[in-house]
Amino acid sequence: MKAILVLQDGTAFEGESIGAAGRTLGEVVFDTAMVGYQQCLTDPSLRGQILAFTYPLIGNYGTNAEDFESTRCQAAGLVVREVCEVPSNFRLEGSLGDFLQEHGLVGIAGIDTRALTRRLRTVGVMMGGISTEDTPEELLRRIEESPSYAEIDLVDQVSTPTPYEWQPEIEAGKAQPRIDFEDRLKIVCLDYGMRAGILRNLYDIGCRPIVMPCRTTADQVLEEKPDGVVLSPGPGDPARLGYAMDTVRGLLGKAPIFGICLGNHMLTHALGGKTFKLKFGHRGGNHPVKDLVTGRVKITAQNHGYATDPATLEGSGARVTQINLNDQTVEGLDHEDLRAFSIQYHAEASPGPLDSRGIFKQFVDRIREPKRWSEIVPDVS
């Protein structure tokens, strides 16, 4: 079946349909990762976005039930050069094509993804659509009539509706004896688009993760008497999330805080800073980040379209601790007095670079030994 991809500027590509038939609209972005396509498609941070992979062959190891970052497919659509139709892997449970059909995801293959990527890098990411039933002119009209990515509160769409206590058997769907949490740190995780990898990492280092909805207030968080608070990643324009900023502002100085990706932006705004939209974002598993405390460089996985403006944090007491070596944007903040720090990349990326995985232990160490906040413990993972 034929399919078309149309960008908001009128650029059009014709290819073959993969996945479900129909139409989908969203912000078209590109990702340079070579693996991890199932994690990407189920990442809540991709809500409302059509994902294009720059790597030419996607799907060669298939899909399985263990590689979900959330309970469903989150991306609005998929664009690839070629889909592997005969995957091979010892964990294989189904093909990427089967996965797309099962989750009703509209996609397109067989287009020049290099030309698409160059267009997005030159002009910037923009709204677009994939369709098996429209002409390019009809699809362009629908794109022009649709709300832009930045106009929608996507966090509300992906956040949990009710609080829950995370345990491994919940994720795996297996009946296991309840685990004694008496000696574990109680960590409230504010869900702006929670990834399963974050909860696994917290659990593995002795934490008891309690996931709460994005509109939870500071008072509701503090009623849980948490040892610490994690601000999760998530989709959309951080400047729209006034309710989340108010919550983080109300928690500053009252509980240790660790923000990841969108959580970094929420900390930025809570401290009085601002964020701005990047031309084409950071998406992939090969982004170099320099730790300004140690001078070390790590390779990180990233998936975001906005960045912190460091000039707007002057006088806030926050310190920029890490930067992206590709464009010098902020990759980490630390506020000693308020016991809050954050990173812009995904330390929990799975699969992905493991250079930064030790940041979770750093958070736990800072909670258990408060003096470490004043020391600005470097990430030595």
Report whether pLDDT(21) > 90. Answer: yes
Mean pLDDT computed over 308-318: 96
pLDDT-derived band at 104 (thresholds 50, 70, 90) equals very high
Per annotation, catalytic residue among 261, 265, 287, 331:
261
Round the average pLDDT of the chain to a whole number and report it: 93
The larger pLDDT score, comparing residue 334 to residue 182, is at: 334
pLDDT given for residue 177 in this prediction: 45
pLDDT at position 199, please? 95
Mean pLDDT of 289-293: 95
What is the DSSP secondary structure assignment for residue 94, as one 8-state letter?
B
- Extract the runs of DSSP E, i.e. beta strands, from 69-195: 77-80, 82-83, 106-109, 126-131, 164-165, 185-190
Measured CA to CA, the distance from residue 60 to residue 352 in angstroms comes to: 17
Mean pLDDT of 13-37: 96
Is the pLDDT at 280 greater than 90, yes or no?
Answer: yes
Q: In this predicted model, what pLDDT tens digit does every residue of 138-192 receive, in sequence order?
A: 999 999 999 988 889 999 999 999 999 998 865 544 545 445 556 899 999 999 9
Report pLDDT digits (tens) over 33-65: 999 999 999 999 999 999 999 999 999 999 999
Q: Is the pLDDT of residue 372 over 80?
A: no
Q: Domains in the chain, start-ordered, CATH in brackets?
A: 2-150 (3.50.30.20), 155-375 (3.40.50.880)
More confident residue, 377 or 339: 339
CB-based burial label for 159 (10 Å; 0-12, 13-18, 19+): buried
Q: How many other C-beta atoms are found inside a 10 Å radius of the C-beta of residue 118?
A: 12
> Is 275's pLDDT higher than 60?
yes
pLDDT higher than 80, residue 376: no
For the segment 195-230, what is each residue's pLDDT rounded down to a tens digit? 999 999 999 999 999 999 999 999 999 999 999 999
Predicted pLDDT of residue 181: 58
* Cα 257 from chain centroid (whole Å): 18
Name the catalytic one among 27, 69, 331, 348: 348
Cα dihedral 320, 46, 303, 11, rounded to 10, equals -110
Distance CA 166, CA 144 (A): 41
Read off the pLDDT of each residue in 69-82 and give the average, rounded to a whole number. Answer: 96
Question: Is residue 294's pLDDT more than 60?
Answer: yes
As a whole-number percent, the residues of the chain with pLDDT over 70 amount to 93
Please, which pLDDT band fits residue 357 given cuts at 50, 70 and 90?
A: confident
The reply to whether 40 belongs to the active site is no
Q: How confident is the model at residue 370 (pLDDT cuts 50, 70, 90)?
A: confident
pLDDT over 50 at 28, yes or no: yes
Structure tokens at 180: 């004694």
